[in-house]
Structure 1
Amino acid sequence: MPLVIHLLGLAVFAMGTSEFMLSGLGPGIAADLNVSIPAAGALTSAFAVGMIIGAPLMAILSLRWSRRRALLAFLGVFLLVHVIGALTTSFGVLLATRIAGAFANAGFLAVALVTAVSLVDENAKGRATSALLGGVTIACVVGVPGGALLGQLWGWRAAFWAVALVTVPALVAITRSVPSSAPGGAQAPNARRELRALRSPRLLLTLLLGALVNGATFCSFTYLAPLLTEVTGLGRAWIPALLALFGLGSFVGVTVAGRIADVRPRPLLVTGSLLLLAGWPVFALVAGSPVPATILVFVQGALSFAVGSTLIARALYAATEAPTLAGGYATAAFNVGGALGPWLGGLPLTAGLGYRSPLWVSALLVALAVLVAGTARALTPHRRPLPQPARSAQNSLS
């Protein structure tokens, strides 16, 4: 992979830390700003809603910008709103900064995905996507538990300051390393033409599946900290380590999927989805036992990100008529799940059904994804598969 993709991953690391770190900061935010834990969980949903709206909107806005200009503008706004979030004493202002930060994150990721896949062979989009999203998984391994630890030591605001500081070297790296050429190559970008790509049933199906799988991930991950403390019985000191374990699993999942997604996507998606479907209810049943619960934190992280990243790659393959907005579509769909997941998980919590209940909701969402995919497959048995790269081409990139 070109070095510039890994530099883009540095910025994605900062953004991933911001997006996921509330899973470990929710109780502290709720206590400090005098709101309920489900209300603090709504900050994650608000961020995801901003990503949904912002991804295509910001991608369209940046069509006439150079890639470097777009990436720097989005990252600069992202840094600013985290400074404001760290200083505010108002839950409403914090909520507004999460939405604004999500817009910036969405625009950045949409442009970064297109930039990354444009720098590799046409049949290596899965590997490029995996390399870029590696920043998200490293955020889960290092950034999120680090943010949780900062929250425990110095309060949740320290985590916001840390995200702002990590963004600074990413700005410098992008300035020096990202090409300034305008997106779209020789053909001028056309928003109306690219929006028509949404008429493709294959693209819409892939986006829907990505939303459902990611919804399941966010549904449980958002409430992982109280689950492990209240149900599993682990002390708060264990939470950063277990969040890191989830992140390590997600890193393994993305890395393995990146090696397979371009050559054997269907077996990966089928097997991974069925294992994921089995894992959530098992997690709910054994959540009271520390050892199996700890194992499933890792396993579900790996499966969730392996399936989720592969679906993003398939969306990029399917959006051939939208070369500049493809990243926006993938980002928006991924975050539809990110918005619905915490909200759906919060419903049974509000009803008093306990912290195991989001795990059951996650199982239902994955079951729905499997049902939708199976029905679509049965209704279109003779559809032509997406173009697959030759194995020799894949091996040449190793």
Structure 2
Amino acid sequence: MPLAVYILGISVFALGTSEFMLSGLLPPIAEDMGVSIPRAGLLISAFAIGMVVGAPLLAVATLRLPRRATLITLITVFGLGQVAGALAPTYEVLFASRVMSALACAGFWAVGAAVAMAMVPVSSRARAMAVMLGGLSIANVLGVPAGAFLGDHLGWRSAFWAVGAASALALVGVVTRIPRIPLPEEKPQLRRELGVYRNRQLWLTVAVIALAGGGVFCAFSYFAPLITDTAGLSDGWVPAVLALFGIGALAGTAIGGRFADAHLFGVMAGGVTAATVLLGAVALFAEVPALVVGLSFLLGMASFCSAPALNARMFNVAGAAPTLAGATTTAAFNLGNTTGPWLGGTVIDAGFGFASTAWAGAAMSVVALALIPVSLRLHRREAEMSPGSRDLVVAKAAVRPEPAAEAC
């Protein structure tokens, strides 16, 4: 695996920490800003909305720009967004800083994924994405719990300052280690790249990614109040439980990346199925502290096990447009990260309690699971009807003996 892919994974650590750290900071942010916890949860959706909108827009805007310079610019803007969040005097300013950071994060993900895919053979795509997603998993293992710890001891703003510092280190890595990647001799044609959106398999993959991710983050976004208010654990347990989720995510990413290239649909279905069952278990046993702690690890493992396969699947169905494939994957994941926290906040506001977020998440995951066999069936049908397959059928028919000859 090229060193540059690992540098991209390290950069994703800073991005992922910012994206998910609010799961452990919602109570202090809500108190400081004078808003409810569900409204503070909209800050998570704000980041996700910025990712959904920003990924395709920035992918198109930077289609013909040098990859390395684009990555440098985006990680710089992202870092400035963290500084703006740390200094935000009001909820509205904090909301705007989250959108700003998300736009830069989305562009970095889209361009970075395209760079990673360009540097490895097709047979290693899932493993390359596992390296990048490993940065996201480490963010859940270290960054998110560290953010919760800082928020508990030094105030939630200190977590934003810490991510700003991590962004500065990522910038150094990109500047010094990402090679200059020449643009293709034939300039990318926007119309041709946009043509991938006519592929129904792409939209099925978008739906699976959004529903599977949304199901998990419908519950995960409200883990902090679920741990303290429903399970009855002290605030000091929040970083530990979030860390367990992250450790599980790291293990799941490694397992999924190891097997996804050879068993793409099996890994997709297995990961989503396990996540669905575990979300139901979280809802059922939310008042049992020991089970909530253990289930957080298993849920992280299951939810991230399918991530390399989902990423690789998107690049397979949109191979003619690698930049837009990365952008579409990012948008799809964050479409789930938008709808999941929103749905979770809705059921909390309706009076169903924090445990109900896991039931709502399980419902989203069930729909994602139902779409995977549909995608597999279409994939097999398209493979049978591909030009190579038709040529093979014709060739076999051409050499097949006539019935009379067979009788002789």
TM-score range, shorter chain: over 0.9
- Whole-Å Cα distance in 1 between the matches of residues 375 and 318 of structure 2? 18
- Whole-Å Cα distance in 2 between the matches of residues 385 and 346 of structure 1? 45
The 5 Å alignment of 1:242-261 reads 242-261=241-260
Q: 1:353 to 1:64 in 2, by over 3 A?
A: same
Give me the TM-score of the superposition, normalised by structure 1: 0.94
Q: Counterpart of 1:176?
A: 176
- Whole-Å Cα distance in 1 between the matches of residues 116 and 155 of structure 2? 36
Q: Counterpart of 1:100?
A: 100
The 5 Å alignment of 1:7-86 reads 7-86=7-86
Q: Counterpart of 1:210?
A: 209
Q: Counterpart of 1:125?
A: 125
Q: 1:379: how far off? A: 7.0
Q: Counterpart of 1:396?
A: none
- Whole-Å Cα distance in 1 between the matches of residues 263 and 69 of structure 2? 36
Per-residue CA shift, 1:176-234, capped at 9, x if unaligned?
A: 11122244x23311122111101111111111100100101211110001001111111
Q: Counterpart of 2:166?
A: 166
Residues 1:340 and 2:339 aligned together: yes
**Contact 2:216 2:275 survives alignment (8 Å):** no
The 5 Å alignment of 1:1-398 reads 1-183=1-183, 185-377=184-376, 382-384=381-383
- Whole-Å Cα distance in 1 between the matches of residues 356 and 329 of structure 2? 28
Q: 1:175 to 1:380 in 2, by over 3 A?
A: closer
Q: Secondary structure at the match of 1:63?
A: coil
Per-residue CA shift, 1:11-50, capped at 9, x if unaligned?
A: 1100100000000001110000101100110000010000
Q: Secondary structure at the match of 1:236?
A: coil
Larger mean CA deviation between 172-181 and 98-107 belongs to 172-181
Per-residue CA shift, 1:287-320, capped at 9, x if unaligned?
A: 1112221111011111111113321121011111
**Contact 2:214 2:337 survives alignment (8 Å):** yes
Q: 1:211 to 1:188 in 2, by over 3 A?
A: same
Q: Which has the larger radius of gyration?
A: 2
- Whole-Å Cα distance in 2 between the matches of residues 154 and 218 of structure 1? 26
Among all aligned residue pairs of Structure 1 and Structure 2, give the percentage whose two residues are the same amino acid.
44
**Contact 2:265 2:309 survives alignment (8 Å):** no
Per-residue CA shift, 1:58-82, capped at 9, x if unaligned?
A: 1111112111110011111001111
- Whole-Å Cα distance in 2 between the matches of residues 283 and 249 of structure 1? 15
Q: Could you list the runs of 5+ residues in structure 2 that have no partner in the other structure?
A: 387-408
- Whole-Å Cα distance in 2 between the matches of residues 10 and 134 of structure 1? 9
- Whole-Å Cα distance in 2 between the matches of residues 77 and 29 of structure 1? 23
Q: Secondary structure at the match of 1:21?
A: helix
- Whole-Å Cα distance in 1 between the matches of residues 92 and 319 of structure 2? 40
- Whole-Å Cα distance in 2 between the matches of residues 385 and 251 of structure 1? 36
**Contact 1:249 1:298 survives alignment (8 Å):** yes
- Whole-Å Cα distance in 2 between the matches of residues 331 and 166 of structure 1? 21
- Whole-Å Cα distance in 2 between the matches of residues 354 and 205 of structure 1? 32
Q: Counterpart of 1:390?
A: none
RMSD of aligned Cα (Å): 1.6
- Whole-Å Cα distance in 2 between the matches of residues 104 and 34 of structure 1? 28
Q: Secondary structure at the match of 2:261?
A: coil
**Contact 1:9 1:134 survives alignment (8 Å):** yes
- Whole-Å Cα distance in 1 between the matches of residues 171 and 345 of structure 2? 36
**Contact 2:270 2:306 survives alignment (8 Å):** no
